[in-house]
Amino acid sequence: MKRFLDSSVLVESCLSASPNYAAADALVNGGHATTSAHALAEAYATLSGDARLRIAPADAAAMVEDLADRLDVQSMSAAEYRKMIRSAPTKGVRGGGIYDALHAQTARLSHCTEIHTLNVGHFRHVAPDMTVLGL
C-alpha cells in the first residue's frame, strides 16, 4: 500500500509542538510514502511564510530537504498539467482546488491507494476514486 502525503501532512511533520506531529511524523517515516514536488514547494511556502511559525527561510528549506530525502517525490509532466487544467471545468474544479486535483493525479500516477491530508473535504471532491484519510 502506497500513501500520498499532501503538504498539510508535510508541514505538521515539521512542527513538533503540533498536536498532529506524531501522526504526521509516523506517516513520513513509515515507508511507502509519496508526495509531489509541488507539495514540497507548498510546505516550504507555509513553513517560511507563516509569521506565526517564526521559522527562518533557511531552516524551512532544510526541513523540506529532509522531507525530500525521506519520501518518494514525484512530478507530473507538463503534458499532464495541461491535461488536468483542460479537464478541470468539466470536473467542477475551480480556484485553488486545482492544486488538490494535481496532487490527487500525482498520487494516481504513482499508484498510491491512499491520500493523507488535513483537508479531507478538498480531496474527496477531486479524488472520489481514492481513500482519503485525515490525521
Q: Does residue 108 carry a pLDDT above 80?
A: yes
CA–CA distance, 121 with 125 (Å, rounded to integer) = 7
| Cβ neighbourhood burial of 63 (10 Å; 0-12, 13-18, 19+) | buried
Over residues 35-73, the pLDDT tens digits come to 999 999 999 999 999 999 999 999 999 999 999 999 999
* Cα–Cα distances in angstroms (integers) from residue 16 to residues 23, 38, 44, 106, in the given order: 11, 23, 16, 28
pLDDT of residue 24: 98
Rounded percentage of the chain residues whose pLDDT exceeds 70: 100
Domain borders along the chain are 9-75, 83-135
CA–CA distance, 42 with 67 (Å, rounded to integer) = 13
Q: How much is the CA Rg of the chain, to the nearest whole Å?
A: 14
